[in-house]
């Protein structure tokens, strides 16, 4: 399926009158390496558009798994509104709905030299501030970029968090809270989609501790 999909992507890009180029984000290892029964959507980086974004969703079929291809140069402020639009279209489908169909971001998986996929079916995006912390096991993960990450919670935390020590930072949280804590990600809207996908791929093994609600500021 993956080679067939690569051909489809190339045909689509060349068939556009502008010969658009879509640069997929790269990760060391993706969550999923194969998805069947798919239809694609494309979110291009396009400086000719008012928000530098061009969405093409003509080939989406609501009953299939959706592969959403997003240019890694886009910021979250640019990309997330279009992602939310696609999510709402699928969630609000009244006919020909498949409850088992999922949504994936497409990326280049460097570990296999081929396409990889990161699921985001149940993620809810909010362009608003999160309310006050009223849960002792809730921890906010404030991300300006991959090298500027801090935590806030109802207890004082002393965690040095960088791109290369995600596992050790989560281990500190587990020692502090036990296994019952929940991390809510607060993401800077200026983050590139590349950095966002890198972050998501680093946290895959801890996804049971990560909230499905993500806040963009």
Contacts of 182 (CB under 8 A, 6+ apart): 135, 137, 138, 139, 209, 210, 211
Lowest-confidence segment of 19-33, 39-53, 145-159 by average pLDDT: 145-159
Q: What is the pLDDT of residue 4?
A: 41
Give the tens place of pLDDT for each residue, 86-144: 999 998 876 678 889 999 999 999 999 999 999 999 999 999 888 665 666 788 888 99
Contacts of 78 (CB under 8 A, 6+ apart): 51, 52, 53
For the chain, what is the mean pLDDT?
84
| Separation between Cα atoms, residue 45 and residue 73, nearest integer Å | 7
Which pair of tokens denotes residue 36?
């069947």
Whether residue 48 is predicted with pLDDT greater than 60 in this model: the reply is yes
Instruction: Please answer whether residues 56 and 82 qualify as being in contact, where contact means their C-beta atoms are separated by less than 8 angstroms.
Output: no
Which pair of tokens denotes residue 17?
């009158």
Q: What is the pLDDT of residue 138?
A: 83
Give the tens place of pLDDT for each residue, 9-43: 443 444 445 578 999 999 999 989 999 999 999 99
Lowest-confidence segment of 26-35, 142-151, 152-161 by average pLDDT: 152-161
Q: Centre a 10 Å sphere on the Cβ of residue 66 and count the other Cβ atoms it contains.
A: 25
| Separation between Cα atoms, residue 108 and residue 4, nearest integer Å | 15
Give the tens place of pLDDT for each residue, 58-78: 889 989 999 999 999 999 999
Largest CA distance in the chain: 56
Q: Could you tell me the residue ranges of all domains in the chain?
A: 2-122, 126-216
């Amino acid at each position: 399926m993956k080679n067939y999909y690569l051909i489809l992507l190339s045909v689509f890009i060349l068939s556009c009158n502008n010969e658009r180029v879509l640069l997929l984000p790269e990760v060391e290892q993706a969550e999923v390496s194969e998805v069947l029964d798919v239809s694609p959507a494309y979110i291009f980086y396009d400086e000719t558009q008012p928000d530098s974004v061009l969405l093409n969703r003509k080939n989406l079929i609501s009953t299939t798994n959706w592969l959403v291809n997003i240019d890694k140069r886009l910021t979250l402020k640019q990309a997330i509104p279009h992602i939310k639009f696609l999510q709402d279209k699928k969630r609000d489908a009244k006919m020909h709905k498949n409850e088992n169909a999922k949504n994936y971001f497409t990326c280049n998986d460097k570990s296999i030299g081929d396409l990889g996929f990161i699921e985001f079916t149940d993620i809810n995006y909010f362009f608003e501030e999160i309310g006050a912390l009223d849960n002792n096991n809730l921890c906010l993960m404030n991300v300006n970029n991959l090298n500027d990450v801090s935590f806030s919670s109802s207890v004082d935390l002393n965690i040095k968090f960088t791109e290369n020590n995600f596992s050790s930072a989560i281990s500190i949280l587990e020692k502090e809270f036990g296994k019952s804590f929940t991390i809510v990600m607060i993401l800077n809207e200026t983050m590139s989609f590349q950095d966002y996908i890198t972050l998501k791929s680093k946290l895959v093994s801890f996804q049971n501790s990560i909230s499905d609600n993500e806040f963009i500021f």
